[in-house]
Amino acid sequence: MKHKTRRTLNFWALFSAPALWWGTVLLVPYLIMLSISFYSRQFPFHVPDFQFGNYAILLQDSQYYDVLMRSLWISLSVSLSAFVLSYPLAYFLAFKVRSERMRLFLYTATIVPLWVSYLLRAYTWKTILGSEGILNSFLMWTGVISEPSTIFLYNQGAMIVTMAYIFTPFMVMPIYASLEKIPVSLIEASKDLGAPRFMTFLKITLPLSMPGVLAGFTFTFGLSIGDFISPILVGGPYSNMIANVVATQFGMAMNWPLGSALGVVLLFIVLGVITASDKLERVGRLNMG
């Protein structure tokens, strides 16, 4: 019994400060944001209340509904583009590079861009795609076009390219990790049984790499839908994402209740995607036996 008391004491000596900290800076702020989302607004302030009006606005006002749909669509496109870019690279690293050092070097090379300032990586795309930018001046220099074109920057395409560029390493990492775990014997067995290479890929490699693909999708989707910086830098007028609206409501629009409601929706979208990919992965594992 005495041992147990001492253990409890040790535990609290260790844990009381962190518990207090996490409670104050993490749990309480989340709860405050949640409760403000039920407040009502009386310009220019908000008053404590418990009503679902802020959430109703999100569903009724087509402006917010459009933003929500656009955010989902852009984030999905970014994840898909990052997937298309990442899979060949991860596959190449895992199966075709035989030297351990070369593989480590190439893998590190894939991750290093993550350490280059996020803001600067978005900004360089602005300098590349702009009407006075590198792409335009290159095309004019080589004579492909005679006038600078404005079609490259300030649209959803520019946004998808920029974000896919920024988040691709997050897709490569988990796909590579899951490809690397596939036993070579399985692939050889499939070959020995006479399956063409593409069949082996479709039936063995791809299904076994699904956990990594799912993890990559979860990362990229979550990162894209929470991003309000790339849309402002390269997105142009019709590119407001849910994160931009949250930022505006807490900034110029000064509508904290609506901003909080949107924040809560964003939080649940991301948590939902994480939970769904967890469930899918578990189902996949069961099917594999």
Partner 1 sequence: MAVTSMNGVGLRKRPLDMGTTGLGVAAMCVLAFLYLPIITLIIFSFNSSSITRLPLESFTLDWYVKALSNNDLMTAVWNSVLVGSAAVVICLAIGIPTALALDRYDFPGKTVFRRLVILPITLPGLITGVSMLTFFRSVDIQLTIWTVIIGHGTALTAIVVTNVFARLQRFDRRIEEASADLGATPLMTFWYVTLPNIRAAIIGSAMISFTLSFDELPVTFFLTGRDNTLPMYIWSVIRRGITPEINAIGTIIVVVSILLILISVLLMHSDNQKAGPVKP
- List the interface residues with partner 1, window 212-241 (CB under 8 A): 222-223, 225-229, 232-233
Question: Backbone phi, then psi, for 47, in 5-degree steps?
Answer: -120, 145
Please pick, from the candidates 54, 86, 230, 255, the single residue that binds partner 1 as defined by CB under 8 A: 86
**Min dist. Cβ of residue 285 to partner 1 (A):** 20
SS3 112: helix
**Up-side HSE of residue 178: CA atoms within 13 Å toward CB?**
21
Tell me the per-residue interface mask from 22 to 41 with partner 1, x by CB under 8 A, - otherwise: x--xxxxxx-xx--x-----
Residues whose CB is less than 8 angstroms from the CB of residue 109 and which lie 6 or more positions away in sequence, other chains included: none
User: Between residue 154 and residue 213, which ones bind partner 1 under the rule CB under 8 A?
Assistant: 165, 168-169, 197
User: Between residue 250 and residue 289, which ones bind partner 1 under the rule CB under 8 A?
Assistant: 250, 256, 259-260, 263, 266-267, 270-271, 274
Asked whether position 141 contacts partner 1 by CB under 8 A, the answer is yes
SS3 46: strand
**Up-side HSE of residue 52: CA atoms within 13 Å toward CB?**
4
Tell me the per-residue interface mask from 44 to 83 with partner 1, x by CB under 8 A, - otherwise: ----------------------------------------
Tell me the per-residue interface mask from 100 to 119 with partner 1, x by CB under 8 A, - otherwise: -xxx--x-xxx-xxxxxxxx
Q: Which two tokens stand for residue 200?
A: 């082996």
43 by Cβ neighbours in 10 Å (0-12 / 13-18 / 19+) ranks as exposed
